């Protein structure tokens, strides 16, 4: 599975779980998960590539969603778990 496909899967997981995903030019600052007026929003940086955005999404999924309760494709689950393990 290529990096773009992993990113698409991560975005789908976020959106399916009620997190709005917005692609905005952030000048390479890398996006992240935040709460605006009580709503969870994931900002992706349109100025960076799929790798940076995938990393940010994996981190957000790990923070905001209990992945044990979801079916997630094995490669995407491994990506999330690897990213979360490395940030501990």
User: Which residues contact residue 72 at a Cβ distance below 8 angstroms, ignoring those fewer than 6 apart?
Assistant: 9, 13, 80
pLDDT digits (tens, 9 = 90+) for 33-73: 999 999 999 999 999 999 999 999 999 999 999 999 999 99
Mean pLDDT score of the chain: 91
**How is the chain split into domains, by residue range?**
3-83
Model pLDDT, residue 16: 95
End-to-end CA distance of the chain: 25
**What is the pLDDT at residue 84?**
81
Judged against a pLDDT cut of 80, whether residue 23 lies above it is answered with yes
Q: Which of 68, 17, 73 is nearest to 42 (CA)?
A: 17
């Amino acid at each position: 599975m290529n990096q773009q496909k992993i990113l698409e899967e991560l975005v789908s997981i976020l959106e399916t779980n009620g997190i709005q995903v917005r692609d905005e030019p952030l000048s390479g600052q890398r996006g992240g998960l935040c709460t605006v007026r009580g709503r969870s929003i994931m900002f992706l940086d349109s100025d960076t590539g799929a790798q940076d955005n995938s990393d940010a999404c994996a981190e957000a999924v790990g923070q905001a969603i209990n992945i044990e309760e979801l079916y997630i494709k094995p490669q995407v689950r491994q990506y999330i778990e690897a990213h979360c393990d490395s940030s501990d």
